[in-house]
Structure 1
Amino acid sequence: MPIYNKLVRDHIPAVIERAGKTCTTRRLEKSEYIQELKKKSQEELTEYLQASDDESALEELADLLEVIHALAKCHGADIEEVERIRERKAEERGGFGERIFLVEVQDA
């Protein structure tokens, strides 16, 4: 019997049951939930970094985005608020579309 001890998507227990298996779950307290979301974000980022094609990369980016949605909610916001902050920062500092790689900064 495999032991996972990890945060899973809400419908995973039902998927397991439909497969004719049983599972044990518990609901996390908020502080545990945030910690597990942070771990999940690292897991999904690692899977994205290991993706070997565009389709797999997009699947992993979607998983990362789902975690970001959940984390925003934990911090009292929604994805629209995160997007507003992203837009403000892009306006002030730019995005990454220009592919600028900073090599060095020298004092004047």
Structure 2
Amino acid sequence: MRQPFIKRKTDKYTVKKLDDNNYIQELRRKLQEELNEYLEATSNEEALEELADLVEIIHALSFIHNGNFEKVEAIRQRKFKERGGFTEKIYLIDVDDSV
């Protein structure tokens, strides 16, 4: 097992192995925590650090859902081709489904 990051800061820490249900729960909690940290970032450097943390969690979650990051990326690319993305800075205000 890799040495936890915390080990570099102190020799006193406690860890435990999570079962599958708790692992998913904690990954989701960590995802929300890292998203909040991204939203609170005040510099590009901070934002990129938090985005990297989010990507790491997405990697882990993709395995939970019987996939991998490459599959997530393939889905993202497909959806981009079908619907476009956010790079054009176009904001959808409303859709009239009554037509």
TM-score by length of 1: 0.80
2:84 aligns with: 94
Cα distance change, pair 104–77 in 1 and its aligned pair in 2 (3 A): closer
Q: In the aligned structure 2, how far is the partner of 1:26 from the partner of 1:97?
A: 42
Offset of residue 13 of structure 1: 4.6
Give structure 2 stretches of 5+ with no counterpart: none
2:31 aligns with: 41
Q: In the aligned structure 2, how far is the partner of 1:92 from the partner of 1:105?
A: 17
Give structure 1 stretches of 5+ with no counterpart: 1-9
1:5 aligns with: none
> Equivalences for 1:29-108 in 2 at 5 Å?
29-106=19-96, 107-108=98-99
The superposition leaves residues 37-80 of structure 1 with CA deviations (integer Å, 9 ceiling, x where unpaired) of 00100000000000001000000000000000010111111111
Q: CA RMSD in A?
A: 1.5
TM-score by length of 2: 0.87
Q: In the aligned structure 1, how far is the partner of 2:52 from the partner of 2:60?
A: 13
Q: In the aligned structure 1, how far is the partner of 2:95 from the partner of 2:29?
A: 34
Q: How many residues align?
A: 96
Q: In the aligned structure 1, how far is the partner of 2:6 from the partner of 2:94?
A: 51
Q: Identity, % of aligned pairs?
A: 49
Q: In the aligned structure 2, how far is the partner of 1:105 from the partner of 1:63?
A: 34
